[in-house]
């Protein structure tokens, strides 16, 4: 008994007639008769017709669909593929004159027709069959195993073919405008498209159908196991530590490293030292002179014994006290030296143990790093200039960077110093950058004090020049294709980077409430309005934009939002450092995971549809030693934190030069990161 291929269907149905002379619609037909279904399958089509102003496109579209279904499901002995080809040609002929009683007037219409027939009339265990047909240049895509490719490509006006279905295949057929908006190289996630289709919101000039195909399962008796394949089941996963033997260095006792006893310096006996004759004579003279002087001193002492005894006692007391003080000082110095040596030895052993745990047990490694850092601080108080102490501090910093996956950012990463740009600032004023955007060859920056926007070429010796000089006061900028989009407090402008001309592509009355903007596929515009808890979308179609539509479909509090970015989903960055993921206007289950230190001063978020990662700018992260912002005396550092799109922490770029981090931009190939502070731009390779 044949089994049918299971088909999940999602449709995007635009208005039947966008304007006079144009028609686009998605259709499907399943024969009610079981016999006809077994023989011909289910038919899906997207009809896209463009004619002159006097052409009745709506009537023509209905005629094309009626002819297609009537001819394909007619009683005939022809094979399905041949029948489908004949049906398409007959449907095309309906465009010659949709009203036969009237004479033909105006130019002939263009037809873009995509047709898919799903037929599952093969024995169980075998794939079903797809019959595919194309006329003109509609959209016809296949997603199989994560790869997306176009079907029935070629220059000929029409094409038909067939193919076997594999379980999990997704076929997308759509109008020509749909293909321009969602090319195969940048096709969004199917789940996103399904949500958008399910919303029922009309999109001018677009129609599409998503077919998710599932091949019926086959009984175990009908399927032969692949030779040589042995399956083993485990009740639970083997712990990582059991799979990989980890040999950690044993710490030797600290006391085994310290000296067992103190040794005195040797003093040679004078009686055993050989001297020359000259030395001997000199020594005798010195001895005689010493004795004579001693005799004189004794006589003088006897003479003044009665009157000098109190002074002598006082002098002896002073000498005693000095001797005691010197002894105590020497003992303290010996103790400090011993403590310094102990601290260095212990911290070195702790650092070595932590280094072996990096990537295996980061929490324990960070705990050991903290112990070593404390010991090094105590050693610094004893002898801050010791060379070995400096070396161990550098080693401890390298260890900390490895644990927290930090790549240091320094002045060597400087791309351009904005203070070199002659802005014409008033005396005493300092430059203040606001927004950063980029393209393959140029970086763009908006500056606040003068309202200037300028371009900096991405070369080894970058130079800046002012652009869009007639547009002042841009707060946010973004690049899409050949255009630079600029948002000011009073308006929104599109500046052509090739011609230097500007226009106002959309109409809106609340620009002063918009805090951020982004583009989807470099042309669809999204506005963030936190005060209204809403995101407004303007959909681009053939160079023009629809009016703004509210994008959110459920209540989401956006008042504490800092920034957002669009990649099919919309990612919302809040002031507390958390991130919301919205898909199809609704919240998804999402959170940031395994972040070493909290985000405390978020300023920007960025990603794109083809990116693997999510990038967040943090102007001043929490201090690892204080658990909050930088304590007094600690260097303030900004950073960019990188997450995978499942929320898993990946790495971070951090440095004192990023203290005033404002914005960021990542190149289209996700290989270069540009960071904007209030007066400088830094460039980092990813």
User: DSSP readout, 35-93?
Assistant: HHHHHH-EEEEEEEEE--TT--HHHHHHHHHHHHHHHHTSS-SS-HHHHHHHHHHHHHH
Q: ∠ CA(347), CA(353), CA(356), 5° rounding? A: 140
Both 327 and 197 in one domain: the answer is no
pLDDT > 90? residue 184:
no
pLDDT, residue 285, reads 47
Which residue, of 403, 421, 446, is where some domain finishes?
403
Mean pLDDT throughout 510-523? Answer: 92
Instruction: Give the whole-angstrom CA distance, residue 261 versus residue 560.
Output: 66
**Quick check: 226 pLDDT over 70?**
no
* pLDDT greater than 50 at residue 394: yes
Query: Average pLDDT, stretch 88-114?
Result: 68
- Whether residue 246 lies inside any domain: the answer is no
Reported confidence tier of residue 474, pLDDT bands at 50, 70, 90: very high
Q: Look at residues 138, 144, 62, 154 and name the one whose alpha carbon lies nearest to residue 99.
A: 62
Task: Domain count for the chain, please give it.
Answer: 3
Beta strands 406-408; 649-655: pairing state: parallel
What is the band of 253 on the pLDDT scale with cuts at 50, 70, 90? very low
The angle subtended at Cα 651 by Cα 650 and Cα 652, nearest 5°, is 145
pLDDT of residue 13: 73
Of 174, 198, 200, 199, residue with least CA distance to 187: 174
**Distance, CA of 665 to chain centre:** 10
Contacts of 118 (CB under 8 A, 6+ apart): 5, 7, 41, 42, 44, 128, 130, 165, 211, 213
Residues 489 and 611 in one domain: yes
52: how many CB neighbours lie within 10 A of its CB? 13
Residues 391 and 451 in one domain: no
Q: Is residue 384 part of a domain?
A: yes
Confidence category of residue 189, pLDDT binned at 50, 70, 90:
confident
Maximum distance among all alpha carbons in the chain? 157
- Segment 224-229 shows an average pLDDT of 32
Do 445 and 379 sit in the same domain of this protein? no
- Same domain for 519 and 395, yes or no, is no
398 & 419 share domain:
no
pLDDT of residue 299: 58
Extract the tokens encoding 307. 């009157």
- In this prediction, residue 178 carries a pLDDT of 84
User: For position 542, which CATH number holds?
Assistant: 2.120.10.30
State the pLDDT confidence band at 259, using cuts at 50, 70 and 90.
very low
Cβ atoms of 86 and 94 closer than 8 Å: no
Q: Provide the mean pLDDT of the chain.
A: 80
As given in the structure block, the two tokens for residue 134 are 């194309």
Asked if the structure places residue 486 within a domain, the reply is yes
- Boundary residue ending a domain (373, 403, 433): 403
Q: What are phi and psi of 298, to 5 degrees?
A: -65, -40
pLDDT band at 97 (very low <50, low <70, confident <90, very high): low
Amino acid 233: pLDDT:
34
216, 241, 275 - which closes a domain: 216
Cα separations in angstroms, 253 against 257, 263, 345, 375? 7, 22, 10, 17
Q: Are 495 and 488 in contact (CB under 8 A)?
A: no
Q: How many Cα neighbours within 13 Å face the side chain of 624?
A: 17
Q: What is the DSSP letter of 648?
A: B
Tell me the average pLDDT across 11-38.
80
Q: Span 415-434, mean pLDDT?
A: 80
| Paired tokens of 458 | 């991405």
Query: If pLDDT is split at 50, 70 and 90, which confidence band does 52 have?
Result: confident
pLDDT of residue 255: 35
Query: What is the Cα 612 distance to its own chain's centre?
Result: 7
Q: Is residue 212 exposed (0-12), middle (13-18) or buried (19+ Cβ within 10 Å)?
A: middle
Looking at the DSSP bridge assignments, the partners of residue 579 are 573
Please check the confidence at residue 222 and state whether its pLDDT lies above 60. no
| Domain shared by 185 and 91, yes or no | yes
Residues whose CB falls within 8 Å of the CB of residue 336, separated by 6 or more in sequence, listed in order: 382
* Residue 20: half-sphere exposure toward Cβ, Cα within 13 Å: 4
Pair 449, 432: CB distance under 8 Å: yes
Q: Is the pLDDT of residue 410 over 90?
A: yes
Q: At what angle do helices 305-355 and 277-303 cross, to 10 degrees?
A: 130
Q: Same structural domain for residues 171 and 29?
A: yes
Residue numbers of the domain that contains 171: 6-216
For residues 610 and 468, membership in a common domain is answered with yes
- pLDDT one-digit tens code per residue, 624-653: 444 444 444 456 789 999 999 999 999 999
Asked whether the predicted pLDDT for residue 284 surpasses 60, the reply is: no
Q: Which of 155-169, 211-225, 666-680 has the lowest mean pLDDT?
A: 211-225
């Amino acid at each position: 008994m044949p089994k049918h291929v299971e088909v999940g269907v999602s449709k995007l149905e635009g208005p039947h007639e966008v304007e006079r002379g144009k028609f686009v619609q998605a259709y499907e037909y399943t024969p009610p008769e079981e016999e006809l279904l077994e023989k011909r399958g289910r038919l899906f089509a997207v009809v896209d017709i463009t004619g002159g102003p006097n052409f009745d496109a709506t009537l023509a579209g209905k005629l094309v669909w009626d002819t297609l279904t009537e001819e394909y499901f007619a009683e005939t002995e022809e094979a399905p593929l041949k029948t489908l080809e004949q049906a398409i040609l007959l449907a095309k002929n309906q465009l010659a004159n949709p009203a036969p009683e009237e004479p033909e007037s105006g130019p002939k219409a263009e037809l873009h027709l995509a047709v898919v027939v799903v037929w599952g009339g093969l024995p169980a265990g075998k794939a079903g069959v797809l019959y595919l047909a194309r006329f003109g240049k509609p959209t016809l895509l296949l997603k199989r195993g994560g790869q997306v490719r176009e079907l029935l490509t070629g220059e000929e006006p029409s094409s038909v073919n067939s193919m076997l279905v594999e379980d999990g295949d997704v076929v997308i057929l759509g109008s020509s405008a749909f293909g321009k908006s969602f090319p195969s190289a940048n096709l969004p996630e199917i789940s996103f498209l399904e949500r958008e289709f399910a919303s029922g919101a009309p999109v001018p000039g677009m129609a599409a159908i998503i077919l998710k195909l599932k091949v019926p399962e086959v009984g175990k008796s009908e399927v032969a196991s692949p030779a040589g394949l042995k399956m083993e089941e485990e009740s639970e996963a083997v712990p990582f530590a059991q799979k990989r033997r980890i040999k950690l260095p044993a710490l030797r006792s600290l006391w085994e490293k310290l000296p067992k006893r103190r040794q005195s310096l040797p003093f040679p006996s004078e009686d055993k030292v050989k001297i020359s004759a000259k030395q001997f004579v000199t020594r005798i003279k010195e001895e005689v002179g010493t004795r004579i002087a001693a005799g004189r001193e004794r006589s003088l002492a006897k003479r003044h014994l009665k009157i000098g005894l109190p002074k002598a006692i006082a002098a002896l007391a002073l000498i005693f006290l000095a001797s005691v003080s010197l002894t105590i000082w020497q003992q303290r110095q010996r103790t400090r030296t011993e403590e310094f040596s102990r601290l260095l030895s212990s911290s070195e052993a702790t650092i070595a143990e932590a280094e072996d745990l990096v990537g295996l047990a980061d929490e324990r490694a960070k705990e050991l790093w903290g112990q070593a850092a404390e010991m090094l601080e105590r050693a610094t108080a004893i002898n801050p200039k010791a060379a070995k102490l400096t070396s161990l501090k550098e080693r401890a910093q390298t260890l900390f960077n490895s644990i927290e996956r930090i790549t240091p950012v320094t002045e060597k990463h400087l791309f351009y110093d904005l203070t070199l740009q002659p802005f014409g600032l008033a005396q005493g004023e300092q430059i203040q950058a606001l927004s950063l955007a980029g393209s393959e060859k140029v970086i763009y920056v908006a500056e606040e004090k003068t309202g200037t926007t300028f371009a900096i070429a991405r070369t080894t010796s970058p130079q800046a020049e002012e652009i869009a000089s007639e547009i002042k006061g841009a707060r946010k900028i973004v690049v899409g294709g050949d255009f630079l989009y600029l948002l000011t407090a009073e308006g929104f402008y599109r500046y052509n980077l090739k011609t230097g001309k500007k226009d106002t592509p959309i109409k809106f009355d609340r620009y002063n409430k918009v805090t951020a903007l982004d583009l989807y596929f470099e042309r669809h515009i999204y506005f963030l309005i936190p005060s209204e808890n809403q995101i407004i979308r303007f959909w681009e179609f053939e160079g023009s934009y629809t009016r703004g539509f509210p994008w959110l479909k459920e209540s989401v509090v956006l008042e504490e939002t800092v920034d957002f970015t669009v990649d099919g989903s919309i990612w919302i960055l809040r002031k507390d450092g958390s991130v919301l993921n919205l898909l199809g206007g609704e919240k998804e289950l999402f959170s940031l995971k395994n972040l070493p230190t909290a985000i405390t001063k978020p300023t920007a978020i960025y990603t794109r549809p083809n990116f693997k990662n999510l990038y967040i700018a943090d102007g001043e992260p929490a201090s690892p030693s204080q658990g909050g912002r930088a304590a007094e005396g600690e260097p303030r550092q900004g950073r960019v934190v990188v997450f995978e799109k499942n929320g898993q922490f990946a790495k971070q770029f951090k440095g004192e030069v990023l203290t005033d981090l404002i914005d960021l931009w990542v190149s289209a190939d996700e290989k270069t990161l540009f960071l904007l502070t209030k007066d400088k731009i830094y460039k980092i390779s990813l």
